[in-house]
Amino acid sequence: MDAAPATLSSKHEAPDIGELFTGFFILGLTGFGGVLPLARHMMVEKRGWLSSAEFTDLLGLCQFLPGGNIINMSVAVGLKFRGIPGALASILGLIAVPTAVVIGLGVIYGRFANDPVVRHLFGGLAAAAAGLLISTAIKIAWPLRKDVLGLFIGALCVLAIAVLRLPLLPTLLTLAPLSIFLRSRQAS
Amino acid sequence: MTGTLVTLALIFAQLSLLAFGGGNTILPEMQRQVVDIHHWLTAQEFGALFALAQAAPGPNMMVVPLVGWHVAGFSGVLVTSLAKFGPSSLVTGIALRLWERFKDRPWRRTVQAGLVPVTAGLVTASAIVITHTSVSGWGTVLIAALVAIATTATRIHPLLALAAGAVLGLTGIGQP
């Protein structure tokens, strides 16, 4: 099914707008939870839009910026190949199916929310979703376990947002520059 | 109605630009805005919508159109989606042009290293806030703990963990 192993060359077939839309449309349709591994498979191995190094480079950029990684990735890839129309085709392809599905689920939930069986089902689902988020937090925080400075900044974030329930904007405007400043002192 | 849509647009545009480290970092602020400040939903409803969005395919910020739909129907979906995905996409587009130029500069790596603990802290805060609203009664505490352990320690598919949680929840055991 897959084409030949990804070559080292960065010369790839540039997708047109229709291909960008369908590529991300299928990604949105099939990506449950973690879209990222599937995104790599689609763009690098299956369709050959990017080399492995180009994918990692773009992902680094997208992680660095605000917004969801995969959302930013769709915009960056669309823009790279077909400019603004390409970016629009990519992001619309990515979110069209998930939006329709999630609204459909929302309609069902709204209609049956008072039924005890449905209430219990969603009680369990919500608890499981919380469990998934705990797991994500552990995985992101794990590399910092021996980093005193990192743990300190992370703990300040938790205190501000989860305990004191402070607004995000002032918290971020205080802690992000502080963290970057302390890192630069640490590096020098 | 127009006032509500404008408020939705402003909230989600702000969240869009603040979502460093992905969508999960802005969940507490989203909850604070739509539950505590504007009272569009209860904390439990927000937890349920978040769970729904996690069970649906696609990027993990599908709670955004869902909140929009809940507050203002289809125009709400349109407004929240545009506000949430527009500004961050614009930033991505601009940054893409500058990326090549600053790729190997040392300051870029310092900035990146500085943002890692902030992201970790924000996602941890999200986990605490969402767990606090989604868990009531020992049954759901057990489900959240089991899913957290299983998905941290094994390579179990997230959707399978969600399905298992839903089935366990269906029994109603340990739920108020």
Those residues with Cβ within 8 angstroms of residue A65's Cβ, 6 or more apart along the chain or in another chain: A72, B20, B88, B91, B92, B95
CB proximity B73 to A under 8 Å: no
Residues in chain B with CB shorter than 8 Å from the CB of A165 are: 28, 32, 36
Query: And the tokens for A77?
Result: 């890839």
Distance CA B47, CA B23 (A): 15
DSSP state of A43: I
A178-187 pLDDT per residue, tens: 999 999 998 7
Q: Is B63 exposed, middle or buried (0-12, 13-18, 19+ CB in 10 A)?
A: buried
pTM of the model: 0.81
Residues in chain A with CB shorter than 8 Å from the CB of B146 are: 131
> With pLDDT > 90 as the criterion, what percentage of chain B qualifies?
54
Which amino acid type is present at position B106?
P
Query: And the tokens for B23?
Result: 């969508």
Residue A5: band (very low, low, confident or very high) from pLDDT cuts 50, 70, 90: very low
Under an 8 A CB cutoff, do B165 and A57 touch? Answer: no
B123-135 pLDDT per residue, tens: 899 899 989 988 9
Chain B residue with CA closest to A158: the answer is B125
Under an 8 A CB cutoff, do A32 and B18 touch? Answer: no
Residue B142: band (very low, low, confident or very high) from pLDDT cuts 50, 70, 90: very high
Q: Helix, strand or coil for residue B15?
A: helix
Q: Helix, strand or coil for residue A32?
A: strand
pLDDT of residue A11: 53
Query: And the tokens for B71?
Result: 């507050």
Under an 8 A CB cutoff, do B125 and A149 touch? Answer: no
pLDDT of residue A122: 86
| Whether the Cβ atoms of residue B31 and residue B46 lie closer than 8 Å to each other | yes
A135-179 pLDDT per residue, tens: 888 988 898 999 999 999 999 999 999 999 998 888 989 999 999
A29-61 pLDDT per residue, tens: 877 655 777 788 889 888 999 988 788 778 777
